[in-house]
């Protein structure tokens, strides 16, 4: 059996929401929908917001629209990519997800664009 991969799920979170918390929550659910299939394939799913949002809260920020978010959201994903073995890029416009993909490719980390591409 091959070593389980830590796979960062990247896709729209805040993009296209105009800061609407309900739309951001819906986008997070869409990202989270990929977690179970990744886990079933024998790997560990990771979503940057799972880390960044509690960090923001513990810093006293009001949420992802707080000015502090720009110093936490993207940097969290960049730091996670130092530990991730792969990225799953979900469809949709997202500057952050595009940055994740660019960093992954610079570092030679595989980027998958569908769940079917992920090794089992």
* DSSP state for residue 9 in the 8-state scheme: E
pLDDT digits (tens, 9 = 90+) for 15-46: 999 999 999 999 999 999 999 999 999 999 99
Structure tokens at 99: 């940055």
Torsion of CA 84, 87, 93, 99, to 10 degrees: 50
pLDDT digits (tens, 9 = 90+) for 83-93: 999 999 999 99
pLDDT digits (tens, 9 = 90+) for 43-91: 999 999 999 999 999 999 998 999 999 999 999 999 999 999 999 999 9
pLDDT digits (tens, 9 = 90+) for 95-104: 999 999 999 9
């Amino acid at each position: 059996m091959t070593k389980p991969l830590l796979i960062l799920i990247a896709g729209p979170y805040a993009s296209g929401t105009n800061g609407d918390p309900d739309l951001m929550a819906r986008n997070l659910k869409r990202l989270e929908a990929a977690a179970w299939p990744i886990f079933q394939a024998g790997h560990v799913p990771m979503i940057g917001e799972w880390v960044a949002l509690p960090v923001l809260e513990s810093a006293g920020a009001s949420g992802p629209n707080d000015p502090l978010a720009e110093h936490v959201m993207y940097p969290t994903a960049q730091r996670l990519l130092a530990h991730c073995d792969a990225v799953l890029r979900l469809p949709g416009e997202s500057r952050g997800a595009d940055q994740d993909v660019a960093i992954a490719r610079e570092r030679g980390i595989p980027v998958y664009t569908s769940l079917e591409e992920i090794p089992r």
